[in-house]
């Protein structure tokens, strides 16, 4: 019956990767939308394949060196302003979260500045290579927790590798569709960016929690995953209701 257990574990890991992959797809769609149109599919394809390779490397490294990522790197003790003990895991989460928050705020700022023309013109300054590197890097950040979860759930390396490869194939199939949807429905870019902002805040809070970070005497707690998905669901519902209501108002005038 061992093979049944392995299959059930594989299905569980693939489902986990699928849920976490929503964040990846949003970031890939936004990042690839900042390059020239003729380069977008190539950026998505190479970025996702490169990300899968990096995640496999990350898996191999974590299996061998997981203790090092949990070991303290440095600590800060400036009571009552800030204190904490940072390890590799917390630093990766906080760096990734800060970068995602910066990306989301920067894109929202472009929108508020009146940059409403085709995103290719707005993102032409970003080269395809830079976009691919950003996709690979952030995909690894997104995947860190899922890789750790996979290691905790099973000792079977083939199962862990298979879950990563399958999730990569799913992303390859969906990435261009998500990007195309955002291009045709530009208003939903705002929704996507604010969901991305929430992802960044979640990673920052998780990194702070892992580091036992305290700011001005208050402990930083990780944003609960259930709270995060509830908030995202509310954001989507509000956006859908508002869009439909606005269309009805326009039809009456």
Give every CB contact of residue 21 below 8 A, 6+ residues apart in sequence. 167, 170, 171
Over residues 122-164, the pLDDT tens digits come to: 444 567 888 888 888 777 777 776 677 676 667 778 888 888 8
pLDDT top residue among 39 and 116: 39
Whole-number pLDDT of residue 79? 80
Give every CB contact of residue 93 below 8 A, 6+ residues apart in sequence. 141, 144, 145, 203, 204, 206, 207, 210
Whole-number pLDDT of residue 186? 66
> How many helices and strands in the chain, by DSSP H and E?
8, 4
Over residues 193-226, the pLDDT tens digits come to: 787 788 788 888 888 888 889 988 888 888 877 7
pTM higher than 0.75, yes or no? no
pLDDT class of 120 with cuts at 50, 70, 90: very low
Q: What's the CA gap between 98 and 109, in Å, rounded?
A: 16
Whole-number pLDDT of residue 97? 82
Do strands 82-87 and 214-215 pair parallel, antiparallel, or not at all (unpaired)? antiparallel
Q: What's the CA gap between 86 and 109, in Å, rounded?
A: 31
Whole-number pLDDT of residue 184? 73
pLDDT class of 37 with cuts at 50, 70, 90: confident
* Side-chain-facing half-sphere of 222: CA atoms under 13 Å: 13
Average pLDDT over the chain reads 77
**Domain spans of the chain, in order of start:** 2-72+87-186
Apex 80 CA angle, 88 and 211, nearest 5: 15
pLDDT class of 62 with cuts at 50, 70, 90: confident
């Amino acid at each position: 019956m061992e093979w049944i257990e392995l299959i059930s574990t594989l299905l569980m890991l693939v489902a986990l990767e699928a849920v976490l992959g929503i964040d990846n797809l949003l970031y890939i769609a936004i990042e690839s939308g900042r390059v020239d149109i003729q380069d977008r599919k190539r950026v998505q394809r190479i970025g996702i394949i490169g990300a899968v390779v990096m995640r496999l490397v990350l898996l191999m490294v974590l299996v061998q060196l997981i203790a090092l990522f949990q070991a303290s790197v440095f600590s800060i003790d400036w009571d009552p302003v800030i204190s904490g003990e940072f390890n590799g895991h917390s630093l990766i989460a906080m760096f990734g979260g800060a970068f995602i928050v910066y990306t989301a705020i920067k894109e929202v700022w472009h929108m508020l500045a009146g940059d409403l023309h085709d995103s290719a013109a707005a993102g032409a300054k970003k080269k395809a290579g830079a976009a691919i590197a950003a996709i690979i890097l952030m995909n690894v950040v997104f995947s860190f927790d899922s890789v750790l979860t996979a290691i905790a759930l099973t000792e079977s390396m083939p199962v862990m590798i298979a879950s990563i490869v399958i999730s990569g194939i799913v992303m390859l199939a969906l990435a261009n569709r998500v990007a195309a949807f955002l291009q045709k429905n530009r208003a939903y870019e705002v929704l996507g960016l604010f969901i991305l902002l929430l992802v960044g805040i979640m990673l920052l809070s998780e990194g702070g929690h892992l580091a036992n970070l305290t700011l001005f005497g208050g402990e930083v707690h990780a944003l609960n995953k259930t709270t995060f998905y509830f908030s995202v669901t509310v954001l989507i519902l509000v956006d859908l209701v508002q869009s439909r209501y606005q269309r009805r108002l326009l039809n009456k005038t």
